Chain A
Amino acid sequence: MNTSVPRRTVVTGVGVVAPNGIGADVFWKATREGLCVLDRISREGCGDLPLTIAGEVREFDPAAVVEERFLVQTDRFTHFAMVAADQALADAALGPMPTFGVGVTTASCSGGGEFGQRELQNLWGQGPGFVGPYQSIAWFYAATTGQISIRGGFKGPCAVLANDEAGGLDALAHAARTIRRGTNAVVVGAAEAPLAPYSMVCQLGYDSLSLAREPGQAYLPFTSNACGFVPAEGGAMFVLEETEAAHRRGARIRAEVAGHGATFTGTSGWGPSRDGLARAIGDALADAGCAPQDIDVVFADALGVREADHAEVLALSDALGAHAAQVPVTAPKAGIGRAYCGAPVLDCAAAILAMEHGVVPPTPGVFDVCHDLDLVTGRARAAELRTALVLSRGLMGHNAALVLRRGDGRPGTPM
């Protein structure tokens, strides 16, 4: 390995399980159209809670896509990630890899709540003998990384990030560092399944959660009607590889993971996230060797809380200067909800697809923007997109920025 030139990292596979579509192409069509799929929560046992609107993945039949052994042993959040990982691996079409050449990195902040609730109910309802042994692993944040590595036989470096929504972006950066250190490929991303009674009750403590009861009114970031965020389930997984090796094997390069920055600003209000996010953006640009004007599109965190939205707009202005007023900004998550760690990785998938198609997808359902930024609303906007900036903030104070560059493999023209 040549240690004088840093190893760069590219995305060669994309997999998506989202409320608006399973599979990257279906997800992209719905995202480009700006469809809003937020709706009343229909999952069993969730009917009597103040939280009523969410982005559910409704077309997902785990029994059809995940082997029985893993169905029994893992939670829905792992099922989502397994299916997204399968898609990403099929997309990447990795050839034979060294035994320890492929790692797995995931992020989670919700864990396996549905599985955990079932087993805890058995514990309290019937006794310790009625708790299945897989409870000891299935609801942990680490379950998805572990089970994807077992299922795929991936023996390379494995990692789990449990640091808020922003961990989704940090996971991609972590995987890029793993590749820089010599690993051939990393299966990376995040998926969450927070729409189960226990998980939902946990979320009720978040004062930024939207309890609006009309789907069209529930999640309106950057507007004067912003009333919080709507949670969602699902996520995205990617295959990351070292750039030169990916080129050598003729892989379709979908994007480059160009730069990352992360900060922590605590939980005392959203105001401090301005500085934290601005610094993360600055660090990500420096890491990518980008000037502010190189950014062609921003996928915003878009929390949907006035103070938080304001802080994000100011952070963009602080970090991008005059370019902040000109760069198109979008928040597709307004149409599907915010899948915690899954949210920023779904934005990464959308950013990659947007760059490939030369189209900025709109922010669904949002029209009367009350902040000084060029938020793409209504319809998708055609634009030459070479570099995308993806932003994420966690409810517990983590801020992250990721710069993605367009790959050279356009749709339908594999190299």
Chain B
Amino acid sequence: MNGPFTYEELAALMKICAGVTADPQRMSLPGSTFEEFGLDSLGLLGIVSELERRYQFPLGADVDQCKTPREFLETTNSQLTSGV
């Protein structure tokens, strides 16, 4: 059984993959963007790779285009649950 993937796990991956510190609670607020936490597109790409390795499951082409943590979580979780 996979997921759901949480804001806390996303924050941990942002730190490991991109060196960015982000507060999970702030990320969950509506309108919160990756940009405001200093996460660039390469950083997001690294997080996607890490998740795909972890879940042994391709997350699809759209997931690394997400601009907000909320969008990223929703996309990732829908992929993970539909894929099981």
A residues touching B (Cβ–Cβ < 8 Å)?
Answer: 67-73, 129-130, 132-134, 136-137
With A129-B49, A129-B53 known as contacts, the answer to whether A137 contacts B19 (CB < 8 A) is: no
Please, how many angstroms separate the alpha-carbon atoms of A250 and B45 in the complex?
A: 47
The residue on A at minimum CB distance from B44 is: A133
8 additional contacts, CB 8 Å, given A69-B18, A69-B19, A134-B42? Answer: A68-B19, A68-B20, A69-B38, A72-B18, A129-B52, A130-B53, A132-B46, A134-B46
A79–B42 Cα gap in the complex (Å)? 19
Closest to A126 in B: B53
Question: For B53, what are the chain A residues with a Cβ–Cβ distance below 8 Å?
Answer: 129-130
Q: A129-B49, A130-B53 are in contact. Are A72 and B42 (CB under 8 A)?
A: no
B19 to chain A, nearest CB (A): 3
Asked if B21 contacts A132 (CB within 8 A), the reply is: no
Query: Which chain A residues lie closer than 8 Å to B19 at the CB level?
Result: 67-73
Contact of A133 with B52 in the complex, beta carbons under 8 Å: no
Nearest B residue to A127, CB-CB: B53
The 8 A CB mask of B29-72 against A (1 = contact, 0 = none) is 00000000010001101100100110000000000000000000
- Residue pair B49, A133 in contact (C-beta under 8 Å): yes
CB distance from B14 to the nearest CB of A (A): 10
Closest-by-CB residue of A relative to B39 is A69
Q: How far is the CA of A30 from the CA of B46 in the complex (A)?
A: 43
Q: Is B17 an interface residue (CB 8 A)?
A: yes
Inter-chain contacts of A136 with B (CB < 8 A): 42
Contact in complex: B42, A137 (CB < 8 Å): yes
Residues of chain A within 8 A (CB-CB) of B43 are 73, 133
CA of A69 to CA of B45, assembled, Å = 15
Q: Considering residues A68, A134, A136, which has the most beta carbons from chain B within 10 angstroms of its beta carbon?
A: A134
Contact between chains at B21 and A72 (CB < 8 Å): no
Contact A68 B42 (CB under 8 A): no
Say which residue of A68, A73, A129, A130 sits within 8 Å of B21 (CB atoms): A68
CA distance A70 to B42 in the complex (A): 13
* Bound: A150/B18 CA distance, A: 15
> By DSSP majority rule, is chain A's interface helix, strand, loop, or mixed?
helix
In the docked arrangement, what's the CA distance between A267 and B27, Å?
Answer: 56
Separation of A15 and B62 alpha carbons in the complex (Å) = 44
* Closest-CB distance, A247 to chain B (whole angstroms): 38
Which B residues touch A137, using CB under 8 A?
Answer: 42
Bound: A69/B49 CA distance, A: 18
The closest CB in chain A to the CB of B49 belongs to A129
Can you report 18 residue pairs joining A to B where beta carbons are below 8 Å apart?
Answer: A68-B19, A68-B21, A70-B19, A71-B19, A72-B16, A72-B17, A72-B18, A73-B18, A73-B42, A129-B52, A129-B53, A130-B49, A130-B53, A132-B17, A132-B49, A133-B42, A134-B42, A134-B46
When distances are taken between beta carbons in the complex, the residues of chain A under 8 Å from B16 are: 72
Q: Which residue of A lies closest to B52 (CB)?
A: A129
- List chain A residues, Cβ under 8 A from B21: 68
- Rounded to whole angstroms, the CA-CA distance of A136 and B20 in the bound complex is 18
Assuming the contacts A133-B43, A134-B46, A137-B42, asked whether A68 and B15 have C-beta atoms less than 8 A apart, the reply is yes
Inter-subunit contact A69/B46 (CB<8 Å): no
Residues of B within 8 A of A71 (CB): 19
Chain B 1-25, CB-CB to A under 8 Å as 1, else 0, gives 0000000000000011111110000
Nearest CB to that of B40 among chain A residues?
A73
Cβ-defined partner of A133 (8 Å) among B15, B20, B38, B46: B46
Closest residue of B by beta carbon distance from A131 = B49
Shortest Cβ distance from residue A309 to the other chain B in the assembled complex, whole angstroms:
45
Residue of B nearest to A72 (CB): B19
**Does the CB pair A69–B20 fall under 8 Å?**
yes
Which chain B residues border A130 with CB–CB below 8 Å? 49, 53
Q: Inside 8 A of B38's CB, which chain A residues have their CB?
A: 69
**A233 CA to B46 CA, complexed, in Å:** 29
Q: Chain B contacts of A129 at CB under 8 A?
A: 49, 52-53
- Complex: A342 Cα to B10 Cα, angstroms: 39
CB distance from B2 to the nearest CB of A (A): 17
- The CA-CA distance from A132 to B42 in the complex, in Å, is 9
Set of chain B residues within 8 Å of A70, measured between Cβ atoms: 19
Instruction: Please measure, in the bound complex, the distance between the C-alpha atom of A136 and the C-alpha atom of B19, giving whole angstroms.
Output: 16
How many Å lie between the Cα of A72 and that of B39 in the bound state? 12
Complex Cα spacing A214 to B42, Å: 44
Closest to B15 in A: A68
Closest 9 CB pairs of A and B: A72-B19, A69-B19, A68-B19, A133-B42, A133-B45, A133-B46, A132-B46, A129-B49, A69-B20
